[in-house]
């Protein structure tokens, strides 16, 4: 039936997009870990919360750790281990100084991240390597990817000094430097809490959660931008042309049935996170290469075709292929070249949606195609929420408390580990 053919074609395309998204996700995760993007976004978010006046996006503090050498606080990538130690000492001194008016201090966000409660969550840039092996790079530190609201409130209140009465706490907050955004915000929160220390702590946690919701959005946009770039590169390198794949699936019934069978079997992966599910999903990538889809460049066939037209001059040297490629482009014509580029762009856009999106779509359409759940399945179809964080960790994005997406104060899912 035409409707069934269209549905099976869509299922096959979704399976291809899911596989491409998995590969791109792994690349983005590697890049994010190398650049410590989650830690930098966390630092930037805390600085905007505590140190940067509103409506000043060009303030140097808002640039996270991307600053010229010699900048203060945790900005420099090199020597961050010693910076954390120095800031921890300054934090102890700040607690004593707040008995009187404080005029100058390091960024409060940096002091919070250097507090002993949070400092243990940072990790070396090269774990297990002594500093002497790679010099200063080995001695670098990656900032914590996730700080809970409770840890933030505990560190901040400890910096302000342990007090027994709300009046003393208010006085110490007033002794913070004038013009510091955290000073006015904390005074407002303690007034709203009715001068109750426990209610004030809870208000600080909610304040932090709301800011981390914004930080999650920053990371999500960074991820989507880079997924689009990686998806475009992958589409060209592996020749994943959405238009060509769709045409092949629609016209070639054996290929379509094989791809759809494999796509539906993807839903049979274990629902629990763990090695078994990772291996099951990774197996889909190997299967995609074995299916007779127009994916890849098939260089062996291209070489045989080149030799058939130009004799043995076609070796693996690029210069010998110039005439063959030019002849191939002329044969394809302008329309064919433009359609190929359009197919690559469609693949890149599809990859930017992320693997969780396509896995969820595959689950729902697979259930529609099979007219219900598989025997013995009582729960809802597998969705992106059931995927292991190790598989899609660079794509999942947390949200503030109350929307059920993730823990509060958490950057995208792998950022949500209790530590780096």
Mean pLDDT of 201-230: 93
Q: What is the average per-residue pLDDT within 151-174?
A: 88
132, 85, 35, 148 alpha-carbon torsion, rounded to 10°: 140
Instruction: Assess whether pLDDT exceeds 60 at residue 12.
Output: yes
Exposed e or buried b per residue across 289-328, where buried means at least 16 C-beta atoms within 10 angstroms of its C-beta: eeeebbbeeeeeeeeeebeeeeeeebeeeeeebeebeeeb
Burial tier of 244 (Cβ tally within 10 Å: 0-12, 13-18, 19+): middle
DSSP lists the bridge partners of residue 124 as: 141
- What pLDDT score was predicted for residue 348? 94
DSSP 413: G
Tokens 């407002």 correspond to what residue? 188
Mean pLDDT of 3-18: 85
Pairwise pLDDT comparison (394 vs 158), residue with the higher score = 158
Q: Is the pLDDT confidence value at 76 over 60?
A: no
The gap from C-alpha 357 to its chain's centroid, in whole angstroms, comes to 14
Give the pLDDT confidence score for residue 193 in this predicted structure: 87
Proportion of the chain above pLDDT 70, given as a percent: 63
242 burial via Cβ count (<10 Å: 0-12, 13-18, 19+): buried
Neighbours of 122 (CB within 10 A): 22
Question: Across 125-129, 323-327, 343-347, which has the greatest mean pLDDT?
Answer: 343-347
Q: Specify whether the CB–CB gap between 143 and 42 falls below 8 A.
A: yes
What does the pLDDT average to over 375-399?
A: 40
What would the two tokens of residue 10 be?
């869509």
Helix (H, G, I), strand (E, B) or coil at 320: helix
Residue 118: which of 152, 74, 72 has the closest Cα? 152
| pLDDT value at residue 248 | 87
Q: Which two tokens stand for residue 200?
A: 């004030």
Distance CA 225, CA 238 (A): 20
Higher pLDDT, 327 or 101: 101
Q: Can you tell me the mean pLDDT for 401-410?
A: 39
pLDDT in tens, 96-125: 999 899 988 888 999 999 999 999 898 877
d(CA 386, CA 301) in angstroms, rounded, equals: 41
| Contact (CB, 8 A) for 93 and 85 | no
For residues 309 and 242, which has the higher predicted lDDT (pLDDT)? 242
pLDDT band of residue 195 (cuts 50, 70, 90) is confident
Segment 341-368 mean pLDDT: 88
pLDDT band at 329 (very low <50, low <70, confident <90, very high): confident
The C-alpha atoms of residue 212 and residue 412 are separated, in whole angstroms, by: 10
pLDDT higher at 294 or 250 = 250
In the numeric block, the tokens 């960024």 are attached to: 107
265 — pLDDT class (breaks 50, 70, 90)? low
Over residues 5-10, mean pLDDT: 86
Selection from 352, 236, 216, 247 nearest residue 296 by Cα: 236
pLDDT at 206: 95
- pLDDT tens, residue by residue, 129-155: 655 444 444 456 788 889 999 999 999
What pLDDT is attached to residue 281?
59
Interior/surface letters 339-376, b for 16+ CB within 10 angstroms, e for the rest? ebeebbbbbbbbbbbbbbbbbbbbbebbbeeeeeeeee
pLDDT at 223 over 80: yes
CB neighbours (10 Å) of residue 142? 21
What does the pLDDT read at residue 82? 81
Most trustworthy range by pLDDT among 60-69, 212-221, 278-287, 321-330: 212-221
Check residue 56 and give its pLDDT. Answer: 65
Q: How many Cβ atoms sit within 10 Å of the Cβ of residue 416? A: 22
Span between the terminal Cα atoms of the chain, in Å: 52
Q: Residue 352, CB half-sphere, CA atoms under 13 Å: how many?
A: 15
pLDDT for position 55? 61
Nearest to 355 by CA among 73, 41, 14, 21: 21
Mean pLDDT to the nearest integer, 237-258: 86
**For residue range 297-326, what is the model confidence (pLDDT) as tens digits?**
766 666 666 666 666 666 666 666 666 666
Res 168: pLDDT = 87
> Any idea what DSSP says for residue 63?
G
């Amino acid at each position: 039936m035409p409707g069934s053919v269209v549905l099976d074609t869509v299922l096959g395309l979704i399976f291809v997009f899911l596989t491409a998204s998995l590969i791109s996700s792994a690349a983005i995760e590697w890049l994010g870990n190398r650049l410590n993007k989650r830690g930098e976004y966390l630092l930037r978010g805390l600085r905007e919360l505590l140190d940067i006046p509103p409506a000043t996006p060009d303030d140097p503090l808002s640039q996270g750790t991307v600053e010229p050498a010699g900048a203060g606080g945790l900005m420099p990538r090199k020597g961050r281990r010693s910076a954390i130690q120095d800031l921890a000492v300054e934090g102890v001194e700040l607690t004593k100084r707040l008995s009187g008016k404080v005029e100058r201090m390091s960024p409060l966000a940096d002091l919070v991240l250097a507090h002993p409660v949070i400092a243990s969550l940072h990790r070396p840039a090269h774990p297990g390597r002594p500093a002497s092996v790679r010099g200063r790079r080995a001695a670098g530190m990656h900032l914590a990817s996730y700080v809970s609201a409770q840890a933030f409130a505990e560190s901040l209140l400890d910096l302000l000094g342990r007090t027994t009465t709300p009046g003393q706490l208010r006085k110490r907050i007033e002794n913070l430097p004038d013009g510091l955004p955290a000073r006015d915000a904390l005074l407002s929160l303690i007034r709203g809490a009715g001068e109750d220390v426990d209610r004030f702590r809870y208000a600080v946690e909610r304040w932090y959660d709301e800011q981390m919701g914004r930080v999650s959005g920053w990371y999500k946009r960074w991820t989507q931008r880079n997924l689009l770039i990686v998806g475009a590169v992958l589409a060209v390198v592996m020749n994943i042309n959405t238009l060509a794949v769709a045409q092949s699936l629609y016209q070639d019934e054996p290929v379509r049935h094989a791809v759809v069978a494999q796509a539906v079997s993807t839903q049979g992966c274990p629902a629990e996170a763990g090695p078994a599910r990772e291996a099951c999903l990774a197996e889909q990538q190997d299967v995609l290469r074995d299916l007779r889809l127009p994916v890849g460049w098939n260089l062996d066939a291209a070489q045989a075709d080149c030799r058939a037209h130009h004799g043995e001059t076609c070796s693996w040297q690029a210069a010998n292929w110039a005439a063959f490629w030019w002849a191939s482009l002329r044969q394809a014509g302008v329309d064919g070249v433009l359609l190929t580029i359009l197919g690559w762009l469609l693949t890149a856009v599809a990859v930017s949606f992320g693997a969780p999106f396509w896995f969820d779509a595959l689950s729902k359409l697979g259930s529609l195609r099979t007219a219900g759940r598989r025997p013995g399945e009582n729960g809802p179809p597998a969705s992106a929420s059931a995927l292991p964080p190790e598989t899609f960790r660079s794509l999942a994005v947390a949200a503030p408390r109350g929307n059920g997406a993730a823990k509060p104060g958490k950057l995208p899912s792998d950022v949500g580990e209790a530590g780096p």
